[in-house]
Structure 1
């Protein structure tokens, strides 16, 4: 049975959606959300709020957080009429600024860190952990990509499709360094992912790792497609994990939830189609190896977070904009540091940056159908790099 507070917050979610849909229909009343002066792209603030209310794992927690901010400027969503709140947002600059600052805070401290796939700052043995996790995940899933069915090139049989597999964190390992982001994840999930779940000892584990074909791993990290967990039913497992059967006579039986996993193509602009293992269609299966039962399956709540993020990043175009900003920052670092460090052979630096640039742009900057000016500008940049003009960047 739901408590009074839960029912109250459910009404708050519905009311906030109505308010911001009206604001969206009024055109550019709310200022657009610009995350950096380094790029010109902006997001619609009303659409940003609606996306969070639609796709958060706990919309009630998001509604509570937004109402707390609005209350500071005298807007009480549940005590005032929808028309009054809309009118206040239209007339009062401090009310609009409160919404804009809320959206800006969540974008920079929640979306940004969850798109950061760099090595954790505090990890000294990260490469060793990745090697171990790679081994565990390949043993769990029969040395193959669970989406495409491609087998690891080093273990594939003569008649099996083979390719290069890479270990991918469902949720970036670097989030362990960011206390603010972990707190916001706790709010976003309604407490289902507490900060302790994202600590170094809990995030670099088998239940946060997939082995994916390199043809689709980057787009998964960019949240352009996801894996959606769907609760099936409660079942009882016996101690014999290998049998995977129920045993009503065992005193150690325990109830567990079981999930179906389906492929979710989020972005309308896929770079390449994702070919699934026939005849499973969109159904994905883990722990198919001979000893798969000995290893942890991916955590459904981490998949749920990845799926929710993918929906928000696509609905708001924040994913494309964040990648655009990451590219701008990368170019700045190349100009600022990469070509002027003492002790480097200039010719070697040019070749290194040229190759890195091609790979980065090919794997990262093809998020969606881009404006013609951006496409032409990037093509010109590739030509300059190919001609050895990196030093003029």
Structure 2
């Protein structure tokens, strides 16, 4: 495919660049470079205001097809979405608190949701008013998503569901207004049968409890979420009762969409900082370090082109067709590529720093432990990159079975 930028794209780039320059001021100027992986706790309230700022001027839902209910703000092409992602990263705009709603739930509703569900949930996402989190993984069902045990039972009269169970590694659950939850709605069902995809309001005191999980980096972006009879309306089941597995798999395919390019632009910024540190410390004079720096750069370029190729294949239906059909292994390949790459970058960041990487500033007057700097957080956070979002082992199994056609391995009985 031809991914060069045409005159319309460059006009769109100028518009995006001008808007970001004009709005990353005042209370938002201090958000630059904040809120990324490992620092998602920074400036949470201001970043929520920033989300509404984006929504007010139509910068959320750029690629939503206007033909599907008129929800899209701009009807941006694929290349224009890439342009926006590039300019957003170059401006060091803050990490998005609304990305789960915009990049995961919204396309899923466009593909699988009812008109009433789209009318209810897409406009508040586009305005930056409602934030979402994802209720998938459980303590005994992480990468093996089909093993979930969270149950939802239908109330008398079919008015709604009551959800009981536990989710874990739930990003931004402490900030979210809503959660999309994969739960077992058919008693006695196993594996991917009998699951439903429910939209659940988080403001249910006594029925939903969020407990932060403290990480190696000292921060708590992830959470445990406990459901004790939490309510979900029957009309808020996406894809119908029992259709949750198809919807959940479609959403996971969307997870590697344009947001992957945003992620990679962030990776490029991190790599640039590692290179600068290597030059400053003299580590770049070592041939082995230079080789690793060049290899990281080359692999990042390869990931970018792979992401663009995958996006191009998915956009054949205008981006609103059933996701994941073009290449059943594309999402797994992308996850394997970036997970290992980012983890190696964290290790390289420590190598170019040398011994000082093991310590940091300490406030002796307040007797307060030092706070990690950006590269230290990068190293600690990336230890989980090959686990969360589907471990490397699971991704390789998907490729083996769905792409290469190899025999399926043994599965747990529950």
- Quickly name the TM-score band, shorter chain normalised: under 0.3
Q: Which has the larger radius of gyration?
A: 1
Q: Which has the higher contact order (CA 8 A, sep 6+)?
A: 1
